[in-house]
Homo-oligomer: A and B are copies of this chain.
């Protein structure tokens, strides 16, 4: 960069390199992009000029011309959550290794924000979007001629969804509680109206309960839900929470009520993120294969970006039961 005057900074551009090297801009471009025939002498002159001026190509101008930004949009509720934090870490990581950058959007589970983000990402000409926000279906996703992948979230009819095997997770969690002798098992989950594959956790819970002649009872996350659960079910002896943070809250409330875990009450969560494993290692949980989910999501997105076809829509990755000390 060189200063024009005290306030304005002028970036070095292709033409400056060309002038310095005594060649045309075309030649510089060719050298930098390894295209066509270039004499070694010219190539070297150009490289020297690039070094000397510390030239950085302007990706904006480049993107405009090649109609590709190498930017992927990520729409998730929030990075302030161990599961999404870990997932986004891997997504960004993989993108980086493929030469893509990542535009981050925290939708906070708000439909209006998600729609705005979707528009914004399109205006910025992202090459694709991976979304996992916990919203109801957003019709805007339907008519996008844009590479799209959902994680744990149905976006639209033909958009691939990657998730852990939620049904299997729900089954294993519920069975563990039953095997451990629980008689009154309650499930806590998000609103079933959010059309997410996580609903399968509830379905599995209900199926397994019925198979075993138990009465399923699901509490929907909301204000004071955990206190209410305990108040209304003084004999509850097993709780399957649909994520680890809820499980932690259950454990705290149980402690407050002097309910012994796992003696009087057994608790199992869902997610099994690295953060949870460190902060609450004793929690029994269903661990999602976060990295594998990220890998697959990117793979499916890249297929779309590269115009390759893929007919499978739903992808379920195996979960792992972690037996801790809370069951």
Which of B1, B101, B275 interacts with A124 by CB under 8 Å? B101
Q: Determine if A105 is an interface residue (Cβ-Cβ < 8 Å).
A: yes
- Asked if A307 is at the interface (CB within 8 A of a chain B CB), the reply is yes
> Which of A59, A273, A281: most chain B CB closer than 10 A?
A59
A236 at interface (Cβ–Cβ under 8 A)? no
8 Å CB contact of A275 from B63, B89, B104, B275: B275
Interface residues of A in 91-146 (CB under 8 A from B): 92-93, 96, 101-106, 113, 119-120, 122-125, 145
The answer, among B84, B122, B279, for a CB contact under 8 Å with A245, is B279
User: Inside 8 A of A274's CB, which chain B residues have their CB?
Assistant: 80
* Shortest distance from the beta carbon of A249 to any chain B beta carbon, whole Å: 7
Q: Is A280 engaged at the interface, CB distance under 8 Å to the other chain?
A: yes
A101 pairs with B120, CB closer than 8 A:
yes
Per-position binary interface string of chain A over residues 216-259, scored 1 when its CB falls under 8 Å from any chain B CB and 0 otherwise: 00000000000000000000000000001100110010000000
- The answer for the CA separation of A82 and B277 in the assembled complex, in Å, is 13
Whether A79 is near chain B, meaning CB under 8 Å from some CB there, is yes
Which residue of A63, A64, A79 has the most chain B CB atoms within 10 A of its CB atom? A79
Interface residue? A278 (CB, 8 A): yes
Which residue of chain B is the closest to A102 with respect to CB atoms? B104
Q: Which of A80, A86, A113, A119 has the most CB of B within 10 A?
A: A80
- Closest CB in chain B relative to A216 CB, distance in Å: 26
Mark each residue of chain A from 295 to 327: 1 if its CB lies under 8 Å from any CB of chain B, else 0: 000000000000100000000000000000000
Contact B58 A60 (CB under 8 A): no
Tell me the minimal C-beta distance from A93 to chain B in angstroms: 6
List the B side residues contacting A56 at CB < 8 Å: 119, 122-123
A80 in complex: contacting residue of B1, B125, B275, CB < 8 Å? B275
Contacts of A1 in B (CB 8 A): 145
A145 closest partner in B (C-beta):
B9
CA distance A220 to B56 in the complex (A): 39
Q: Does A191 contact B (CB under 8 A)?
A: no
CA distance A90 to B113 in the complex (A): 15
- Within 8 Å of chain B (Cβ to Cβ): is A52? no
Instruction: Please give 15 more A-B residue pairs, beta carbons under 8 A apart, in addition to A101-B105, A252-B281, A275-B279.
Output: A1-B145, A56-B123, A58-B64, A58-B125, A59-B124, A60-B69, A60-B124, A60-B125, A79-B85, A82-B82, A89-B106, A96-B106, A101-B124, A248-B279, A275-B275
Q: Which 7 A-B pairs have the closest CB atoms?
A: A85-B85, A80-B89, A279-B279, A104-B104, A80-B86, A9-B145, A59-B123
